[in-house]
Amino acid sequence: MAKVKTVFSCQECGYQSAKWLGKCPDCQQWNSFSEEEAVKPSKAGAKSIQGREGRPKTIGEIEHESVQRYATRIGEFDRVMGGGVTVGSLTLIGGEPGIGKSTLLMEVCGKLLAEQSDCKILYVSGEESESQVASRSKRLGVENSNFYIYNETSWQRIIEQVKELKPKFLVLDSIQTTHSNQVESAAGTLSQIREVTYELMSYAKAYGLTCFVIGHVTKEGQIAGPKILEHMVDTVIYFEGDQLGQYRMLRVMKNRFGNTNEVGIFEMRETGLREISNPSQYFLEQSLPGSYGRSLTCILEGSRSLFVEIQALVVENKFAVGRRTTQGLDSNRVALLVAVIDKYLALPLSYNDIYVNVVGGMKLSTRENDLSVIASLLSSYFQHPIESDTIFLGEVGLTGEVRSVPMMEIRLKEITQMNYRRVITSKRAADDFRGKFKLDIVGISKASELKELLFKTT
């Protein structure tokens, strides 16, 4: 028997090398190489998409059919998908283990079955046993004679069943546990993932099978095996959230049939996922009257504005180097803002332990909440509460200047609608929008002006 030619490929980016490497020269990842069967490019390229005629057509010949969608009536899900699930599309759902991917797809299946009487759905699970999947499906109330559960990891056996059953929808839970006998390497390796996705994609396109594929994410939060997979499929969505908290966010990263600027917000309950269709105030907790060290900001997730509370605790520490702990915010960003306060407000914050949290488990990655972080820190330091009808919107630079944030108008609209009274922002934004909303818009050009503005009595 001829020796199988192998190659080492980086499981992160797909870089290939004839010998094992400790560090990928392309994506700089350590320990990411694993040995796989070499697939000659001609072999992959020669495969024609099954059942498709290969002939160039003029525009006149191509029927202008608009994409057909199945609405699930789970509003948050449909919106993220661009108005429903597109017929014959392949959607990849990524997320950490235990976040609720299987639960979400099970509920989607339930809705699709309820909406369409003649449709069969095949749920292939390589992760859990049939009885585990069945008990979850019972718990979620997805009991239907057209719902088929199949515990299998071999791609060849799965596709055999698909051909026989002819379902309208297929759920593959997960891509990492499915393996094809056409490729020598183990399940979950790049070449397996590529092969299975390619085969699934070809089948889906040829027969109009609508597929959902679950993918695991790595420690860094990318779908394992990766970028290649994301390039191949039609839609990529991530399901994320705080494992300890209840909220879950569905975020679209790529969508050939819709826009990518959407998020869906859910809450994980005992009885499954519940949509939060009006989330703007969802992340705010009832606060104690007169409490200090907290302020509010308005962030954008997709096209929606959400209010979040940033809490800070500043405690004097005479004996050791001040400790910095943050949750939901980048600790380097907080350190920078502390340095700004230290320098431009001449407050010795360096000698304090500092804790900063975002309430509700949200993770903020943008800088539009800088001003709110500073306000909370000052409020804690001076032990002086900030009125809860005030929203802070501004980025703060290294020279202590306050900058505007994008999409001011959308935020101000929501702030007005939610009956807040005052917005503290950059001078420029205040000049642009003053008088256009029923709000007191206060502009400051330096972060140091906050002290005077908020704590006049101290």
CA distance 168 to 119: 6
Q: Which does 245 bind (CB under 5 to 8 A by kind): Mg ion, ligand TYD, none?
A: none
Q: What residue ranges in 234-279 does DSSP mark as E strands?
A: 235-241, 247-255, 263-269, 272-275
Closest to 334 in 3D by CA, of 356, 351, 352: 356
Q: Is the Cβ of residue 99 or residue 329 nearer to ligand TYD in the bound state?
A: 99
Q: Which does 63 bind (CB under 5 to 8 A by kind): Mg ion, ligand TYD, none?
A: none
Span near ligand TYD by CB under 6 A; candidates 54-62, 84-92, 133-141, 445-453: 133-141
Say whether residue 97 binds ligand TYD (CB under 6 A).
yes
Span near ligand TYD by CB under 6 A; candidates 266-274, 304-312, 337-345, 354-362: 266-274
Q: Is the Cβ of residue 273 or residue 296 nearer to ligand TYD in the bound state?
A: 273
407 Rama class: left (phi>0) / alpha (psi -120 to 50) / beta? left
As measured in angstroms, the least distance from the Cβ of 317 to Mg ion is 44
Q: Which does 394 bind (CB under 5 to 8 A by kind): ligand TYD, Mg ion, none?
A: none
The first and second tokens of residue 326, run together, are: 């943050």
Span near ligand TYD by CB under 6 A; candidates 192-200, 256-264, 265-273, 386-394: 265-273
Closest to 411 in 3D by CA, of 368, 454, 360, 359: 368
Closest to 415 in 3D by CA, of 395, 394, 441: 441
As measured in angstroms, the least distance from the Cβ of 271 to ligand TYD is 5
| Site for ligand TYD, residues 271 to 330, rule: CB under 6 A | 271-272
Span near ligand TYD by CB under 6 A; candidates 70-78, 264-272, 289-297, 326-334: 264-272
CA distance 404 to 427: 8
CA distance 176 to 197: 10
Span near ligand TYD by CB under 6 A; candidates 190-198, 270-278, 293-301, 391-399: 270-278
Q: Which does 286 bind (CB under 5 to 8 A by kind): ligand TYD, Mg ion, none?
A: none
Among the listed residues 120, 136, 324, 421, the single contact to ligand TYD using CB under 6 A: 136
- What one-character-per-residue DSSP string does 181-212 give? TTS-SPTTSHHHHHHHHHHHHHHHHHHT-EEE
As measured in angstroms, the least distance from the Cβ of 101 to Mg ion is 5
Say whether residue 98 binds ligand TYD (CB under 6 A).
yes
Closest to 453 in 3D by CA, of 428, 431, 425: 425
> Of all helices (H) and strands (E), which one includes residue 453?
helix 449-454
Contact of 349 with 380, CB cutoff 8 Å: no
Q: Is the Cβ of residue 221 or residue 348 nearer to Mg ion in the bound state?
A: 221
Say whether residue 63 binds ligand TYD (CB under 6 A).
no
Query: Strand pairing of 247-255 and 121-125?
Result: unpaired
Say whether residue 348 binds ligand TYD (CB under 6 A).
no
As measured in angstroms, the least distance from the Cβ of 243 to ligand TYD is 9
Task: Count CB atoms within 10 A of the CB of residue 362.
Answer: 22
Please say whether the dihedral angle defined by the alpha carbons of residues 264, 268, 274 and 278, taken in this order, is positive or negative.
negative
As measured in angstroms, the least distance from the Cβ of 99 to Mg ion is 9
Among the listed residues 11, 72, 86, 102, the single contact to Mg ion using CB under 5 A: 102
Q: Is the Cβ of residue 271 or residue 278 nearer to ligand TYD in the bound state?
A: 271
Q: Is the Cβ of residue 73 or residue 139 nearer to ligand TYD in the bound state?
A: 139
Place of tokens 């709110």: 372
Contact of 425 with 443, CB cutoff 8 Å: yes
Q: Is the Cβ of residue 243 or residue 383 nearer to ligand TYD in the bound state?
A: 243
Q: Which does 11 bind (CB under 5 to 8 A by kind): Mg ion, ligand TYD, none?
A: none
> How crowded is the C-beta side of 32, counted as CA atoms within 13 Å?
23
Among the listed residues 24, 80, 81, 99, the single contact to ligand TYD using CB under 6 A: 99
> How crowded is the C-beta side of 381, counted as CA atoms within 13 Å?
24
**Which residues contact residue 45 at a Cβ distance below 8 angstroms, ignoring those fewer than 6 apart?**
none
Q: Which does 95 bind (CB under 5 to 8 A by kind): ligand TYD, Mg ion, none?
A: ligand TYD
Contact of 53 with 191, CB cutoff 8 Å: no
Say whether residue 270 binds ligand TYD (CB under 6 A).
yes
What are the residues binding Mg ion (CB under 5 A)? 102
Q: For binding to ligand TYD (CB under 6 A), which residues are involved?
A: 95, 97-103, 136, 139-140, 268, 270-272
